[in-house]
């Protein structure tokens, strides 16, 4: 690496964030111009990256009975939902609030799937009145409550049971959902009895079977193992006279944060469809619920270097984005690449702990990062499109960051920066 012409670092997972003439760009725009205009911390999304990720799923499912339901929890920004809905997506929701967001996006209610272990009666009624496509039910008590709520409205609730196949997704334990020790789903050994009970209740209409084993999965083997267990159950249900319309295999496909090599969505789900056909279930509609794999590498968080603080054990780079903006490192010990918006001479590189301004020792963005940086420089925290703004908080009374969506050479502010007035609005005081 020469001092006059340092090599550009790699932005993981997407060609839509790239260096040109020493400046990091998103599609046709310099990210520094966006930081200058909107301030930092700032989340910036590439619409082309989002649609390219969706395209891999659509290629696999072309010509087949299928529905891709974007998992709203990954990033619920209304403009991103509208982009995906207009491109043909349904939506996977896990709360009444997400239901309202979904309806605001313009999605057809019958293209909404309601997942989650703790749906309240009020949320069930709200979803029944909206006419959603399916409830993914996760326990026997939930079956009973959903039946009562549907009957109280004079309706039948379309139902799919989420089956827990006891398959290890080989991911972080906090985002693994398919083991028998997890809170999610009905054990596959108990699923037939649960389906029989659901079939006996007049307020329910069985439409499918659901399985979701976790998030940030980078190996196709767990998917295919779970699929085989679910197909065994489909065969048992058919033998018991319980017909299904669809098979929902959830989401969870991983992305590249550092050097992970997850399977391509088009290849993986082509293999899923082949196995369904080989087992005689090619007539079932396939539902998928991707989240991170659509939006994760479509977004970055821009942050300003505030101070360089030499320490006895480590050198600290203090930036203006904190754990309230980017909770994944503190929550999951997650890695995000951190790259400069403008390249500096290579001899200025030092090793830093990249930390935020929040009053917690857990407020770190990256450990032991080699960076050439000076106070006032802007940096991009990569792969920040998923599970960052959706889990952001007001800790330390910090406002949530602004968000921008870029399409070609056009940038649109899709969420303004939160103010203290926004935070104080719900508070009543004495």
pLDDT tens for residues 29-50? 999 999 999 999 999 999 999 9
CA distances 125 to 131, 133, 151, Å, are 10, 14, 10
Q: Which residues contact 259 (CB under 8 A, 6 or more apart)?
A: none
Mean pLDDT of the chain: 92
Higher model confidence: residue 144 or residue 332?
A: 144
Give the model's pLDDT for residue 214.
Answer: 79
Q: What is the mean pLDDT of residues 47-73?
A: 96
Residue 1: per-residue pLDDT: 37
pTM as predicted: 0.93
Binding residues for pyridoxal 5'-phosphate: 252, 289-292, 387
Q: Which residues are known catalytic residues?
A: 359
Cis check: omega of the bond before 63, within 30 degrees of 0: no
Report the pLDDT averaged over residues 18-30.
95
- Output the pLDDT for position 168: 54
Domains and CATH numbers, the chain: 17-46+296-424 (2.40.37.10), 115-290 (3.20.20.10)
- Tell me the two tokens of residue 335: 């890695």
* CA 68/CA 362 separation, integer angstroms: 36
At 267-306, the pLDDT tens digits run 999 999 999 999 999 999 999 999 999 999 999 999 999 9
Q: What value does the mean pLDDT take over residues 106-128?
A: 97
Q: SS3 for 369-411, per residue?
A: EEECCCCCCEEEECCCCCCCHHHCCCHHHCCCCEEEEEECCEE
Which residues are part of a known binding site for substrate?
Answer: 292, 328, 332, 360, 387
Specify the length of the chain in residues: 430
Is 46 exposed, middle or buried, given 0-12, 13-18 or 19+ CB atoms closer than 10 A?
buried
168-201 pLDDT tens trace: 545 444 344 444 445 567 888 889 999 999 999 9
pLDDT in tens, 241-250: 999 999 999 9
Average pLDDT score over residue span 383-395: 97
In the chain, what's the furthest Cα-to-Cα distance? 75
Hey, what are 105's tokens?
A: 């996006």
From start to end of 27-156, where are the E strands? 29-30, 42-46, 66-71, 90-93, 112-114, 134-137
User: Per-residue confidence at 212, pLDDT binned at 50, 70, 90?
Assistant: confident
Sheet holding 29-30, edge to edge: 17-20, 23-26, 29-30
Q: Which residues contact 175 (CB under 8 A, 6 or more apart)?
A: 214, 215, 216, 332
């Amino acid at each position: 690496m020469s001092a006059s012409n340092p090599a550009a670092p790699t932005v993981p997972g997407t060609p839509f964030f790239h260096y040109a003439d020493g400046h990091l760009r998103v599609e046709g725009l310099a990210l520094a111009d966006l930081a200058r205009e909107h301030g930092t911390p700032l989340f910036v999304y590439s619409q082309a990256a989002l649609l390219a990720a969706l395209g891999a799923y659509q290629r696999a499912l072309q010509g087949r009975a299928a529905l891709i339901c974007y998992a709203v929890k990954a990033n619920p920004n209304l403009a991103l939902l509208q982009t995906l809905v207009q491109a043909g997506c349904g939506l996977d929701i896990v709360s009444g609030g997400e239901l309202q967001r979904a309806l605001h996006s313009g999605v057809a209610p019958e293209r909404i799937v309601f997942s989650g272990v703790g749906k309240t009666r009020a949320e069930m009624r709200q979803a029944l009145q909206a006419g959603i496509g399916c409830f993914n039910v996760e326990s026997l008590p939930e079956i009973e409550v959903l039946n009562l709520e549907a009957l109280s409205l004079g309706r039948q609730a379309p139902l799919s049971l989420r089956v827990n196949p006891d398959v290890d997704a080989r991911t972080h334990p906090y985002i693994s959902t398919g083991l028998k020790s997890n809170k999610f789903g009905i054990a596959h050994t108990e699923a037939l009895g649960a389906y029989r009970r659901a079939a006996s209740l007049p307020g329910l209409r069985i439409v499918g079977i659901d399985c979701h084993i976790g998030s940030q999965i980078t190996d196709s083997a767990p998917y295919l193992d779970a699929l085989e267990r679910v197909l065994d159950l489909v065969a048992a249900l058919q033998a018991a006279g319980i017909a299904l319309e669809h098979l929902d295999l959830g989401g969870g496909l991983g992305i590249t944060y550092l050097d992970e090599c997850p399977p391509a969505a088009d290849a993986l789900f082509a293999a899923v469809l082949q196995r369904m056909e080989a087992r005689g279930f090619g007539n079932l509609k396939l539902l998928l619920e991707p989240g991170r794999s659509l939006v994760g590498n479509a977004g970055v968080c821009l942050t300003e270097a505030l101070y360089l603080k030499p320490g006895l054990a480590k050198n600290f780079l203090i930036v203006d984005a904190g754990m309230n903006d980017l909770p994944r490192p503190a929550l999951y010990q997650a890695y995000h690449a951190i790259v400069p918006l403008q390249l500096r001479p290579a001899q200025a590189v030092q090793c830093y702990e990249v930390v935020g301004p929040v009053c917690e020792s857990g407020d770190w963005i990256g450990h032991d990062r080699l960076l050439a940086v000076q106070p006032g420089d802007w940096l991009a925290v990569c792969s920040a499109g998923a599970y960052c703004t959706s889990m952001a908080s007001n800790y330390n009374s910090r406002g949530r960051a602004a968000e921008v969506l870029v399409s070609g050479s056009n940038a649109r502010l899709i969420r303004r920066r939160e103010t203290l007035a926004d935070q104080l609005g719900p508070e009543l005081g004495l």
